[in-house]
Amino acid sequence: MTRLRSIRPVLATLVALGMAAGSAGAQQTEQADVLSIGGSVTEIVMALGQGHRLKARDSTSTYPPAVADLPDVGYMRALSPEGVLSVGPALILSEEGAGPVEAVEVIRAADVDFVEVPDAYDASGIMNKITIVGAALGVPDRAAKLADTVGADLRTAATLAESWTGARKRVLFVLSTQGGKITASGTGTAADAIIRLAGGVNAVTDFTGYRQLSDESLGLAAPDLILMMDRSGDHAATVDDLFAMPAMQLTPAADSQALVRMDGLLMLGFGPRTAQAVTRLNHALYGERS
Amino acid sequence: MAMISELQAPPRDRLSRARTLHWALVGLLAVCSLASLQVGATDITLTTLLGKLATGETLGRMERVVLLDIRLPRLALGALVGAALAVSGAAMQGLFRNPLADPGIVGVGAGAGLGAILAIVLGALLPAWAVGTVGNQLVPVAAFLGGWGSTILLYRVSTRGGRTSVATMLLAGIALGALAGALSGILVYIADDTQLRDLTFWGLGSLAGASWAKVLAAGPLIALSLGAALMLGRGLNGLALGEATAAHIGIDVQRMKNIAILAVAGATGAAVAVSGGIGFIGIVVPHLLRLASGPDHRALLLNSALLGASLLILADVIARVVIAPAELPIGIVTAVLGAPVFLWILLRRRGLVDT
Amino acid sequence: MSLHATGIRVRYGHRDALRGVTLHARAGEVMAIVGPNGSGKSTLLGAITGTVPHEGRVMLNGRDVIGQKPWALAAQRAVLPQTSQLAFPFSVIEIVRMGLQSGTAGDRPGVALHALRRVGLDGYADRPFQDLSGGEAQRVMLARVLAQVWAPVAHGQPRWLLLDEPVASLDIAHQLQVMQIARDFADAGGGVIAVMHDLNLSALFADRIAVLADGQCIATGTPREVLTDAMLSRAYGCTLRVSALPTADVPFILPHAATA
């Protein structure tokens, strides 16, 4: 409980940040009573200029950096009911799949509004997320404006992706290279979606979800570019390490040393910054064109 | 006979000391229970609530939910699971005549793990009508069936002509564990990364999903199994002298094995189903009690239930306060506290484990 | 009243360990079972006590042991195994008491201590069993057996001590002590069957001796009837000379080096 008190100054800073982002003066009186669960939802709340209303976040909410100072209620699929209630939320905004089920039931029983934001891997889905979050926060106008902006950005990015008339490059999303074994993305994932949005072709379409690839099927996949998350730990293979792997040496990507790293939430979060991710990946694939 | 009466009034022995310990442990359980109701991520405390009740104030919605729907079922579930794991450990150690045996030996852990993985990975593929009645409890139900089923399988494999060979059971358990591990491996391969995280968290154990529904589902089964196990004291004592001697002093050895195995499968299966994998309680608790008051199972089993319940409740309190508002999986807490004790047991008993 | 085993047959795989042995022991007597290694002595005792699967019939005090509950049998007979094993650090007194509840002595707490005194270990009650020497451990187990059937006769029925090599790891003084305990038990109306290696102790303390060889009982009778040069060479396959103690007319056997 003393812990919560020590966080008050941080919250004050956040409130100030929110106002600096252009919020109306009336919002000063609003209480910070929103718990945001899921990286993209938190990003949307911040982008709507409602950061001052955030009371806490989950462990996947890492952007913008300012949210790191909020209390963390843990991994979204293993929530502690009392932990969630202890931050005193009046509203919980959550991506799909928060759990365990019993915890969510108890939280709902405690008179806390619980709004679930459906996952989506396309432009209209992202705009839908923004609309839902905006409605839940009572700022539908801002949400409409943000959705328009984000939608326009995504259209621009899509136009850019479609403007390439040459051969489409094959992209392999590598989730991890732990123990010399490559876990890559098939279809139906956020990674697959971002590759397609950026005008690339997913090099692996034989399976859905993330799987380990055998050395030979990696050769057959023949990726022109490797896409990875920019994270520490086992994901942090260096360019040299990655392309020194025997299976990798057979790929066109190894010849051109084509590796793109991007922040996981930026690339796979499908929030307000997705257009940015699409453009960056497109540039990496086909070069910057006017 | 005159001579016998002269020799009466034997010294105050370890059994009566162990029985005195019952009351101390009841006290410990009460203290841990109160602590569990008093402490949590919110600043609602039992004392303030009692104060409010005393002055006739009504409790807020939040206060009622936190106390009645979160802390109380969690306390009940923790006590049930802790008692189940500790008594099952003590019973298995007695049955296998080895202080390092745990319920995992009879395949409960491997089977329950396989059941849970099946439910997590393949549950999504089941048609809605099949899941309908079981609904959100698919994982616990599958874990229980897996644990129970593998124990019954092992038991049948190692029973010939009405006699169960404990040694065969041990060996068959290793084989079954390897098989369950391989099947789990296949399932892990086809699992997506969300399911993998679910699996990891399940394996670490947690009481965060505690609910009255779970208490009501697991409670009667655990209570019944523990009741049966608590009557095994004299039989397990006799078994310490070997199966033949146990029979000679009047113990129905096969009946005792039947009861012990069914009780352990029931109690552990139900405990693992509602809480996931929680380690070390089953080994550390009986061992500490043997050090404190001797190996007599007539007192050891009940003391294990009391101490197991107390320690798990305490571990849960630690799990949910230490990084509040998030919480640690309780299996991490019991392992961090239990593993050093376990190593210490191994070092102290190096000579005995091999014999 | 008696312990009557008839037609006992035991197979270990393809080998016949016992080929139809009949043994009749009477209450009030000590019966010794002797014979060379591998002749089936311990197997016979195992069949009688129910630990070795067998064909044939065992009647205890006139009732077939098949169908009697373990606790009912335990109230009538106690069994001392050849070797003792123990899991968990029980103390001496805790082990002696383990036999108690099944017998009629269960309600008399002094019995266990008295049994310990009887085997000469009265100061050992609170010692950990695992710290004892082999001989001490053997005597503790005997005390446990004595505590189980404390009264040699209960409810008008004799009770039985079934001992598998009770003196195997004991020094000579304790051998005599243990055999005297068996003798006293029989004299008080109980029955004793003891598997023995020592022919002289058998001759001294047993009323009757059964000689086993190659899975068969080749002789039963008093020591004087059974312990003869011819019988021993038939059973053990070597020459042994039997003499008689001058005072009591008890046979004794002195081994001596074979002279070629």
SS3 A257: coil
Task: Inspect the interface and report whether the beta carbons of B240 and C78 lie closer than 8 Å.
Answer: no
pLDDT digits (tens, 9 = 90+) for B300-311: 999 999 999 999
- The enclosing domain of B106 has a CATH number of 1.10.3470.10
Q: Which pLDDT value is given to residue B165?
A: 86
B123 within domain boundaries: yes
Q: Which pLDDT value is given to residue B9?
A: 41
C232 within domain boundaries: yes
SS3 B211: coil
Task: Inspect the interface and report whether the beta carbons of C88 and B13 lie closer than 8 Å.
Answer: no
Q: Which pLDDT value is given to residue C188?
A: 96
pLDDT digits (tens, 9 = 90+) for B34-43: 999 999 888 8
Q: What is the value of pTM for the model shown?
A: 0.85
> Best of B14, B248, B291 to disrupt the C interface by mutation (most C CBs within 10 Å)?
B248
Query: Between chain C and chain A, are at least 3 CB pairs below 8 A?
Result: no
Q: Which pair of structure tokens corresponds to residue C64?
A: 């077939």
CA distances from B296 to B10, B96, B98, B169, B341 (A): 17, 15, 14, 25, 21
| Whether the Cβ atoms of residue C199 and residue C233 lie closer than 8 Å to each other | no
C70 has a chain B CB within 8 A of its CB? yes
| Whether the Cβ atoms of residue B92 and residue B102 lie closer than 8 Å to each other | yes
* CA neighbours closer than 13 Å in the CB half-sphere of residue C188: 15
Q: What is the mean pLDDT of residues B214-238?
A: 94
| Whether the Cβ atoms of residue A35 and residue A117 lie closer than 8 Å to each other | no
C260 within domain boundaries: no
SS3 A186: coil
B21 within domain boundaries: no
Say how many CB pairs under 8 Å bridge B and C.
98
Q: Which pLDDT value is given to residue C34?
A: 96
Q: Which pLDDT value is given to residue C109?
A: 66
Residues of chain C with pLDDT under 50: 103, 105, 260
B273 within domain boundaries: yes
- Left (φ > 0), alpha (ψ -120 to 50) or beta: where does C209 sit? beta
SS3 C239: coil
C131 within domain boundaries: yes
Place of tokens 């189980």: C148
B32 within domain boundaries: no
Complex-level ipTM beyond the 0.90 threshold: yes
What is the C-alpha to C-alpha distance for residues B79 and B48, in angstroms, rounded to an integer?
Answer: 24
Give the CA dihedral B40, B44, B50, B56, nearest 10 degrees: -160
Q: What is the mean pLDDT of residues B185-212?
A: 81
β-strand A182-185 against A210-213: which pairing, if any? antiparallel
Give the domain range for residue B126: 61-348
Domains and CATH numbers, chain A: 2-117 (3.40.50.1980), 170-286 (3.40.50.1980)
C84 within domain boundaries: yes
Report DSSP state, residue C195: E
Amino acid at B144: F
How long is chain A?
Answer: 290
Give the domain range for residue C135: 2-253
How long is chain B?
Answer: 355
> Which parts of C81-240 are beta strand (E)?
153-154, 157-158, 160-164, 191-195, 208-213, 216-221
Work out the burial of residue C16: count CB atoms within 10 Å of its CB; fewer than 13 is exposed, 13-18 middle, 19 or more buried.
middle
* CA neighbours closer than 13 Å in the CB half-sphere of residue C238: 12
Q: Which one of B8, B14, B98 has the shortest CB-CB distance to C91?
A: B14
Q: Which pLDDT value is given to residue A248?
A: 87
Across all residues in chain B, what is the average pLDDT?
85
C161 within domain boundaries: yes
**Residues from A in contact with B at Cβ < 8 Å:** 1, 3, 56, 59, 71-75, 77-88, 97, 100-103, 105-106, 109-111, 175, 209-212
Q: Which one of B97, B239, B249 has the shortest CB-CB distance to C102?
A: B249
Task: Inspect the interface and report whether the beta carbons of B7 and C110 lie closer than 8 Å.
Answer: yes
C259 within domain boundaries: no
pLDDT digits (tens, 9 = 90+) for B235-287: 999 999 999 999 999 999 999 999 999 999 889 989 988 888 788 899 899 99
pLDDT digits (tens, 9 = 90+) for C197-242: 999 999 999 999 999 999 999 999 999 999 999 999 999 988 888 8
Q: Which pair of structure tokens corresponds to residue B106?
A: 């009879």
C55 within domain boundaries: yes
C174 within domain boundaries: yes
Number of folded domains that form chain C: 1
What is the C-alpha to C-alpha distance for residues A51 and A19, in angstroms, rounded to an integer?
Answer: 9
User: Greater confidence, C170 or B107?
Assistant: C170
pLDDT digits (tens, 9 = 90+) for B329-345: 898 899 898 888 778 87
Provide the pLDDT confidence category of residue B346 given band limits of 50, 70 and 90.
Answer: confident
Number of folded domains that form chain B: 1
| Whether the Cβ atoms of residue A59 and residue A104 lie closer than 8 Å to each other | no
Q: Which pLDDT value is given to residue B127?
A: 66
Largest CA distance in chain A: 62
Task: Inspect the interface and report whether the beta carbons of C98 and B4 lie closer than 8 Å.
Answer: no
B166 within domain boundaries: yes
Place of tokens 């996981």: A264
Nearest CA in chain B to A3: B324
Provide the pLDDT confidence category of residue B77 given band limits of 50, 70 and 90.
Answer: very high
β-strand C191-195 against C30-34: which pairing, if any? parallel
> Best of B100, B241, B348 to disrupt the C interface by mutation (most C CBs within 10 Å)?
B241
Q: Which pLDDT value is given to residue C197?
A: 94
Q: Which one of C88, C102, C114 has the shortest CB-CB distance to B99?
A: C88
CB atoms within 10 A of CB A33: 16
| Whether the Cβ atoms of residue C190 and residue C27 lie closer than 8 Å to each other | yes
What is the C-alpha to C-alpha distance for residues B45 and B39, in angstroms, rounded to an integer?
Answer: 6
C43 has a chain B CB within 8 A of its CB? no
B132 within domain boundaries: yes
SS3 C76: coil
The per-residue pLDDT string of chain A (290 residues; one tens digit each, 9 = 90 and over) reads 444 444 444 444 444 444 444 444 444 457 889 999 999 999 999 999 999 999 999 999 998 999 999 999 998 888 999 999 999 899 999 999 888 888 888 888 888 899 999 999 999 999 999 999 999 999 999 999 999 999 999 999 999 998 988 899 999 999 888 777 888 999 999 999 999 999 999 999 988 888 888 888 888 999 999 999 986 554 455 778 888 888 888 899 999 999 999 999 999 999 999 999 999 999 999 988 75
pLDDT digits (tens, 9 = 90+) for B88-99: 999 999 998 888
- The enclosing domain of C25 has a CATH number of 3.40.50.300
pLDDT digits (tens, 9 = 90+) for A108-146: 888 889 999 999 999 999 999 999 999 999 999 999 999
CA distances from C167 to B222, C31, C77, C82, C199 (A): 48, 15, 19, 9, 12
Task: Please report residues of B whose CB lies closer than 8 A to that of A211.
Answer: 189-190
